[in-house]
């Protein structure tokens, strides 16, 4: 599974520009699912299994996009001004490298002279240095999109990449769709677009799928680093079952069902309460007349930075938990 993760995270796909990631997922899932289609927003919608009398239409959603930047202006000296595509934090940005999708141009993010070394200026005070001395030398145009450029690193039990959010969820969903052999449900695996700019892909996908139950697969923060904000999630302690985040409250029946499933399968798990941020589950929950939802979260350090870190055991146990949950009828009480 590590090789699949490496290929996914090293394929670029900022919000709205997920086509290369989608093509890779389609290639890897060919012959492994009952059907695949791409909708108007670029979501890849896969299906497996048929809905029995005791079954449901279950939508699993993991987003393909990553955060990035977009060029807004190029000055006479060849420096490129930019703004964010998704939640780009200035503190994680200066000194980073980006690669533009259209031309492959690489640049380094610099910032204007800043007297106060204890604070970080906003993105409006930053620029991209592509090594040019004048505007005509720049192989970038206004409106060109770039992704952060860092290699995947395998540290054994820990994996590091600039795009674990949410390619690790994509990897988990791919494994679930491949390994799921027997289920009473119609399982719809949605590889969604534009999550980082407002869970847009999942909004339209959920409307089309019209599920009976929705589960998002995404990363969550941890509280296990020095002086971290208090949070009862740590790397290596298993997948996290989301209770609440900044945009959504999981259906308590879904939370109880997930927790019981983890205990029955003797899998490690954690309970997650995230004070900010949200996932595709929010959009699924709000579709049509409403859908009961939950979320399986992969603990991740340094989210929205060039070096997001996950635990490989948590990844594998996320797959096992979802397979255990989907192999039996769902009873929400």
Residues that are catalytic: 195
Contact 202, 63 (CB under 8 A): yes
| 117 CB burial (10 A radius; 0-12, 13-18, 19+) | exposed
For the chain, list the strands marked E by DSSP.
35-38, 44-48, 57-63, 68-74, 79-85, 97-100, 106-111, 126-129, 145-148, 153-154, 158-161, 186-192, 213-220, 240-244, 270-273, 293-299, 308-311
Alpha-carbon dihedral angle through residues 195, 304, 168, 241, given to the nearest 10 degrees:
-80
The encoded tokens of residue 296 equal 């399986």
Residues 313, 157: contact at Cβ < 8 Å?
yes
Tell the residue number behind the tokens 């997930």, with chain if given. 258
Question: d(Cα 236, Cα 229) in Å, to the nearest integer?
Answer: 18
């Amino acid at each position: 599974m590590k090789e699949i993760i490496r290929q996914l995270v090293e394929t670029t796909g900022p919000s709205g520009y997920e086509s290369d990631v989608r093509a890779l997922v389609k290639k890897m899932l060919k012959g492994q699912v009952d059907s695949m289609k791409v909708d108007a927003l670029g979501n890849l919608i896969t299906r497996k299994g048929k809905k029995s009398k005791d079954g449901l239409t279950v939508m699993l959603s993991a987003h393909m996009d990553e955060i990035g930047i977009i060029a807004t202006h190029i000055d006479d000296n060849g420096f490129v001004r930019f703004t964010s595509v998704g939640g780009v934090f200035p503190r994680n940005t200066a000194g980073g490298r980006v690669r533009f999708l259209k031309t492959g141009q690489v640049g380094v993010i610099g910032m204007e002279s800043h007297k106060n070394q204890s604070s970080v200026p906003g993105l409006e005070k930053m620029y991209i240095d592509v090594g040019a001395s004048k505007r005509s030398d720049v192989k970038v145009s206004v409106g060109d999109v770039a992704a952060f450029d860092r290699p995947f690193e395998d540290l054994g039990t820990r994996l590091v990449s600039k795009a674990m959010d949410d390619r690790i969820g994509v990897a988990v969903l791919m494994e679930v769709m491949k390994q799921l052999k027997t289920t009473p449900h119609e399982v719809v695996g949605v590889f969604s677009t534009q999550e980082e700019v407002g869970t847009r892909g999942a909004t339209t996908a959920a409307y089309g799928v019209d599920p009976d139950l929705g589960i998002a697969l995404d990363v969550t923060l941890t509280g296990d680093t020095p002086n971290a904000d208090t949070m009862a999630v740590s790397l290596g302690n298993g997948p996290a079952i989301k209770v609440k985040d900044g945009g959504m409250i999981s259906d308590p029946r879904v939370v109880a069902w997930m927790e019981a499933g983890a205990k029955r399968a003797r899998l490690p798990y954690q309970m997650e309460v995230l004070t900010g941020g949200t996932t595709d589950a929010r959009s699924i929950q709000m579709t049509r007349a409403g859908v009961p939802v939950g979320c399986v979260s992969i603990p991740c350090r340094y989210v929205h930075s060039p070096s997001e870190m996950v635990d490989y055991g948590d990844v594998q146990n996320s797959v096992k938990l979802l397979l255990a949950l989907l192999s039996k009828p769902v009873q929400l009480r």
